[in-house]
């Protein structure tokens, strides 16, 4: 009887070992309720992918503006053209540049008109009957109003304004910039190396007031 009991016990042990090797029986640690660990690796989350440095698109930086040499400045186009021809004869790529700058400021005495041309002509007639020099402005931002004088100095304009206000005329002082043209000769970037101190010294013999500076290339004059 004891031998039969030992034989059955051994048989159960062998059967249990066989079940463990074949995966049919889970270990005690798993049977205790611990979560199973999967052999497969889970894919990365979307946040991790988007945060990857390799996936960040590079920022395109703006290329620096090309630098030209600007020679001048000339008040007359003729002088700039002479310098341009001199440089072109030396195979220096260059072009003429025209800029508008504020030359001076005038001070206008202006009577505002809101009723159009009919109202402007009626007020102009009254002013002229009073002996006040005046005219209707036809151009610029003040067009349609009446001018009662143009002065080169602000204090003169304000003095006249005080007189007109005392006579019951509603006038204000408006500053108007007068533009003038100036001319430069612009050397292209590819030819900058040709304009050295030796060449500049020779050019200043014929153009004593010649100045040069490095600036971003400007549109050329037509």
- 195 pairs with which residues across the strands? none
Minimum mean pLDDT range among 15-19, 61-65, 120-124, 145-149: 61-65
159 to 105, 124, 149, 155, 174: CA distances (angstroms) = 17, 21, 12, 6, 14
Mean pLDDT of the chain: 82
Among 177, 121, 179, CA closest to 145:
121
Burial class, 123, CB count within 10 angstroms (exposed 0-12 / middle 13-18 / buried 19+): buried
pLDDT digits (tens, 9 = 90+) for 139-188: 888 999 999 999 999 999 999 999 999 999 999 999 999 899 999 999 99
The pTM for the full model equals: 0.54
Are 200 and 90 in contact by the 8 Å Cβ rule? The answer is: no
Who's near 119: CB < 8 A, 6+ residues apart? Answer: 113
């Amino acid at each position: 009887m004891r031998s039969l009991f030992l034989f059955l016990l051994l048989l159960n042990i062998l059967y249990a070992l066989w079940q463990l090797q074949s995966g049919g029986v889970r270990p005690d640690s798993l049977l205790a309720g611990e979560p199973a660990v999967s052999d497969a690796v889970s894919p990365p989350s979307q946040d991790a992918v988007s945060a990857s440095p390799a996936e960040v698109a590079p920022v395109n930086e703006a290329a620096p503006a090309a630098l030209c040499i600007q020679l001048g400045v000339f008040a007359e186009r003729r002088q700039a053209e002479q310098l341009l021809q001199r440089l072109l004869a030396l195979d220096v790529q260059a072009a003429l540049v025209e800029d508008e700058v504020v030359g001076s400021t005038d001070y206008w005495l202006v009577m505002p008109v809101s009723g159009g041309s009919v109202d402007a002509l009626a007020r102009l007639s009254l002013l002229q009957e009073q002996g006040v020099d005046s005219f209707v402005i036809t151009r610029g931002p003040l067009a349609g109003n009446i001018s009662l004088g143009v002065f080169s100095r602000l204090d003169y304009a304000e003095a006249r304004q005080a007189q007109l206000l005392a006579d019951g005329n509603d006038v204000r002082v408006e500053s108007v910039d007068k533009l003038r043209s100036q001319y430069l000769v612009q050397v292209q970037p590819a030819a900058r190396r040709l304009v050295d101190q030796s060449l500049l010294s020779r050019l200043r013999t014929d153009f004593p007031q010649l100045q040069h500076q490095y600036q971003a290339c400007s549109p050329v004059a037509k």
